[in-house]
Structure 1
Amino acid sequence: MSDSPLRPSSLINTVYGAFLRPLGGWVSIADLIALMAELDVDGPAVRSAISRLKKRGVLEAERRGANGYRLSPAVHAVFDEGDRRIFGSLEPADLADGWVTAVFSVPESERAHRHQLRTRLTWLGFGNITSGVWLAPGRLLDDARATLERLGLSEYVHLFASRYVAFSELRSSVSTWWDFPAIQAQYAEFTDTYGPVAARLRTESDIDPREAFRHYVPMLTQWRRLPYLDPGLPEELLPEDWNAVAARRCFQQLHAVLADPSLRHVRTLTGLETDTP
C-alpha cells in the first residue's frame, strides 16, 4: 500500500467504481465497513466518508434486507467517463489531430462559477494559455463538452476545434501552459510506491485475493488522478525525461495482475453477484 495517506472517501469511490458497479452498485453498510477494514480504515471514518459522499450526491441510502448504500444514478455517467479516461488508450495524442480550445467569460457576480470552470478544466487535462483561454489535445473535446453540460457550465464557455500555426516554438510554449514538474512528481511518486510491488508480484504465480485487494484499491486510487492531470500531449512536445511511460507500464502490469483476484475477494466477502439488480 502507498505510504501517502489516501482519504477514506477516495478509497470508497474506488471500491464502488471498480467492484460494486459490476455487482449491482449497492452494498450493505456492514460489508462496506468490512471491506474498508481490509484497507486499514475504521468504521467511524467509513461512516463519516459516507456522509460526505451522500451530501455530494454520490451515494444514496437504500435498504435491501440490510441497511446499505447504492451509487446515485446521477453519477453513473461520471464513473463511465472515468473508466474511459483511466483504462482507455494511454498513448500520447497525435499532433495532427489538433486541439480543443476553451474560451470563457464569467461575470464577477458569478465568480464561483469561474473557479469551478478553472478547476474542472484542469481536471480534464486543459492547460492555461492566459486568463479565460484553455487548451487541450483535440481528442478531449467530447469529454469536455459532456462534462461542462453535466455541470451546467456550458453557457459560460465556447469550445473550438483548432490548429496551432504560429508564432512561437510550440514545445517551449506548452511547457508554460502545463505544470510539467508537478505532473512528473506525481508520476514519480506512483512509480516509487508501486514499482517494487509490480516487481515482486511478477515472481508470484498465485496471488492471494485479499492481498490483491489491499494493493489494488490504494494503487488505483492514486493512479486515477493522473490520467486527468496529464492530458496525453503529443510525444514530440514532451520533455525528454518525461516519466509517464514507466508509470503507465507499472499501472498496466498491476491492473492486469490484481484486478480479477480483487473482484473475487469482494464477491466472497459481500456475497454479491454480477446479476444483482
Structure 2
Amino acid sequence: MKPRSLMFTLYGEYVQYYGGEIWVGSLIQFMKRFGVSESSVRGAILRMVQKDLMQVRKIGNKSYYSFTPQGNRQIDEGVKRVYSGRRSEWDGKWRILTYSFPEALRELRNEVRKELTWTGFGAISNSTWISPNPVEDQVLELMERYQVEEYITLFSSSEVLSHDNESIVNKGWDLQQISTEYERFIQKYDKKFDELSEKAFQNTLTDEECFIERTKIVHEYRKFLFQDPSFPNELLPDYWTGTAARELFWNIHQLISIPAVRFFESLYESAPDLKVEPERNKAVNPFDKIQV
C-alpha cells in the first residue's frame, strides 16, 4: 500500500469520526500493520503538508495531524462514493462537458481530467466528456475551484440523435473490463469471507486482524472509485458484477467492523485539548452515515 493512499483510507474509515486529528505516533503504529515504515509515514506526511492536504498542530513535543479543507473534501467524497447505494433510476439526461485549454495550461487540463474521471465522467472524444449522473453541482464547484469557467462548458441533454445509449456508453467506458476487475475482487474476497466467518464462529478472530482486514478491503474497494462510473441500472449490461461485489464488501465490512474499531481505539491518541465526542457508531457502520 502506498503511504499517502493508506492515510486517506485510515482517516476516512476511522480518524474522521474521532475529531479528525491523530498523534503521529498512533498513525505510525497503524501504518506499521501494513508494512509502512516510520520514515515512509513521515515522508508522506511532509509531502501532503506541502500540497496543502494535511496540517499539523504542535503540543509540547508531540505532533498531531489532520486534513485541510481540501484534503477533507477528497475524504468526504470518497466515503460517500464507497458507502452510498447505486442510483437505481436514470433521469434520462446526459451531462456533456467540453473544454478547450491553451497549451500553456496543460498541467491544469490534466488535473481537470483526473477530477472528471473521479466524478464518473467518460471521454467520448479528446475534449468531450459525458455522464448520465446528476453531477452538475460537482462540476460547477470544480470549475470555480480551479477558476476555469472560461475554458469549460457544461450542457445537459435528454437526447443524443446520432447514437443510442449503449453506443455512447461503449465510447466512454470499458464496462467489460471494470466488470472483470469486480469478478477478481469477488473471487479473492469470497474465500476471505468464508475464512473470517469461520474464525468468528470459533471465536478466534482478533481485533487486530479485523482492523487489518477491514482496512485492506476498504482500501482495495476504493480503487473502483476511479473505474466504476456508478451508472444507474438502466445503463448497466447483463454481465455486470459490480452489484455482487458490493454486497460481498458490505457483508465482510459488517462482520468485522466492531472489533476493528475496538482495535483502532486501543492505539488511537488524540490531542489533549481535543474536546470532540467520538462518533463510534458511524465508525462502526459508515453505511448509516450516507443517505441513499
Classify the TM-score, shorter chain: 0.7 to 0.9
Q: Distance in 1 between matches of 2:268 and 2:133?
A: 42
One-letter code of the match for 1:191? I
Q: Residue 59 of structure 1 corresponds to which residue in structure 2?
A: 54
Are the counterparts in 1 of residues 23 and 63 from structure 2 also a CA contact under 8 Å? yes
In the alignment, what sits opposite 2:138?
143
Tell me which residue corresponds to 2:42.
Answer: 47
1:24 is aligned to 2:23 = no
Matched residue, 1:247: 245
Quote the Cα distance in structure 2 between the aligned partners of 1:91 and 1:80: 18
2:180 and 2:209 map into 1 onto residues whose CA distance is: 27
Deviations 1:139-170 (A, max 9, x none): 22233333343343444222222212423232
User: Could you say which residue in structure 2 is the equivalent of 1:275?
Assistant: 277
Task: Report the equivalent of 1:118.
Answer: 113
4, 7, 10: which one pairs with 2:2? 7
1:208 and 1:155 map into 2 onto residues whose CA distance is 55
Superposed displacement of residue 19, structure 1: 0.8
Q: After TM superposition, give the deviation of residue 77 of structure 1 in Å.
A: 2.6
1:238 is aligned, of 236, 240, 253, to: 236
Q: How does 1:80-119 map to 2 (within 5 A)?
A: 80-92=76-88, 94-119=89-114
Runs of 5+ in structure 1 lacking a partner? 1-5
Paired residues in the alignment total 270
Tell me which residue corresponds to 1:3. Answer: none
Conserved 8 A contact 2:208-2:263 = yes
RMSD: 2.3
Assess if the C-alpha contact under 8 Å between 2:93 and 2:132 holds in 1: yes
* Equivalent position SS for 1:164: coil
Residues 147-206 of structure 1 show CA distances to partners (whole Å, capped at 9, x for unaligned) of: 343343444222222212423232133112112244224323322332222233334245
Please report the TM-score for the alignment, with normalisation by the length of structure 1: 0.87
Deviations 1:13-40 (A, max 9, x none): 1111211111112211211111111222
Q: Structure 1 residues 187, 214: CA separation in 2 closer, same or farther (over 3 Å shift)?
A: same
Check whether the contact 1:98–1:161 (CA below 8 A) recurs between aligned residues. Answer: yes
Counterpart residue identity of residue 234, structure 1:
P
How far the C-alpha of 1:91 sits from its partner, in A, is 4.0
* Residues 146 and 194 of structure 1: CA distance in aligned 2, closer, same or farther (over 3 Å): farther
Structure 2 residue aligned with 1:175 = 170
Q: Which deviates more, 233-242 or 124-133?
A: 233-242
Specify whether residues 64 and 137 from structure 1 end up closer, same or farther in structure 2 by C-alpha distance, changes over 3 A only. farther
The one-letter amino acid of 2:77's match is: E
TM-score, normalisation: structure 2? 0.83
**CA–CA distance in structure 2, aligned partners of residues 81 and 96 of structure 1:** 22
- Is the contact between residue 171 and residue 236 of structure 1 (CA under 8 Å) also seen in structure 2? no
1:102–1:133: 8 Å Cα contact kept in structure 2? yes
CA separation of 1:176 and 1:260: change in aligned 2, threshold 3 A = same
Using the TM superposition, give the Cα deviation of residue 128 of structure 1 relative to its aligned residue in structure 2, in angstroms: 0.9
Describe the shift of the 1:149–1:81 C-alpha distance in structure 2 as closer, same or farther (beyond 3 A): farther
**Residues 111 and 198 from structure 1, CA distance in 2 versus in 1: closer, same or farther, beyond 3 angstroms?**
same
**2:158 is the alignment partner of 1:163:** yes
1:258-273 equivalences in 2 (<5 Å): 258-272=256-270
